[in-house]
């Protein structure tokens, strides 16, 4: 059974991670959530769930305003060419529905099949914002606490400078 937002908040509390959540209407894209940026400080994320032909599965958390050259990203992170993974695989590995993918879903990947890539531009913010496993809210934590969270899930956080993709 995948974790719920309440499970996430309890996990954050157990880790002594301060978090602040704002409920809002469902947002499925970065553009649909642009109005939230005005009321929530920090770096807002866009999250991509991808895989390559060899079966490497990658969750990318980028700054909402970063330009991602997906056709060249694989060279920077050492995978084969990436494509978007299916919603079924997302639900199987991360326990979330399309539109709700988030770094917080790593807590559901107990088999550690997902590689986590974080955008250097996003990690430069003091506060970072993610959906708390559902797209009807946004939760803020510090970027340092995101590192703590990711480590506590048993994953490695690989920071990548997407501006280096030429």
Kindly give the confidence (pLDDT) of every residue in the chain, 166 residues in length, as a single tens digit, with 9 standing for 90 and above.
899 999 999 999 999 999 999 998 777 666 656 666 667 789 999 999 999 999 999 999 999 988 888 888 898 899 999 999 999 999 999 999 999 999 999 999 999 999 999 999 999 999 999 999 999 999 999 999 999 999 999 999 999 998 887 6
Query: In angstroms, rounded to a whole number, what is the distance separating the alpha carbons of residues 133 and 130?
Result: 8
Cα torsion 23, 47, 45, 103: sign: positive
**Structural domain contains residue 53:** yes
**Structural domain contains residue 45:** yes
**Structural domain contains residue 166:** no
Task: Report the CATH number at residue 109.
Answer: 3.90.960.10
**Structural domain contains residue 54:** yes
The angle formed by the CA atoms of residues 143, 147 and 148, to the nearest 5 degrees, is: 115
Cβ pair 25, 33 in contact under 8 A:
no
Number of domains in the chain: 1
The confidence score (pLDDT) of residue 69 equals: 85
Query: In angstroms, rounded to a whole number, what is the distance separating the alpha carbons of residues 85 and 148?
Result: 26
Cβ pair 92, 133 in contact under 8 A:
no
Domain of 78? 5-161
Query: In angstroms, rounded to a whole number, what is the distance separating the alpha carbons of residues 13 and 31?
Result: 31
In this structure, how many other beta carbons lie within 10 angstroms of the beta carbon of residue 132? 24
């Amino acid at each position: 059974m995948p974790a719920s937002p309440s499970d996430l908040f309890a996990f954050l509390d157990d880790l002594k991670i301060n978090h602040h959540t704002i409920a809002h209407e469902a947002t499925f894209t970065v553009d649909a959530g642009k109005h939230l940026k005005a009321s929530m400080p920090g770096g807002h994320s866009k999250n991509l769930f991808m895989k390559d032909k060899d079966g490497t599965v990658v969750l990318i958390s980028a700054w909402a305003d970063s330009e991602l050259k997906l056709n060249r990203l694989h060279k920077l992170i050492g995978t084969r060419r990436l494509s978007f993974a299916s919603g079924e695989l997302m639900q199987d590995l991360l326990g979330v529905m399309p539109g709700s993918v988030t770094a917080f879903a790593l807590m559901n990947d107990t088999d550690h099949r997902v590689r986590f890539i974080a955008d250097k531009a996003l990690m430069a913010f003091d506060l970072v914002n993610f959906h708390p496993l559902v797209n009807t809210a946004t939760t803020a934590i510090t970027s340092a606490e995101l590192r703590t969270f990711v480590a506590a899930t048993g994953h490695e956080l690989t920071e990548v400078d997407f501006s280096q993709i030429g």
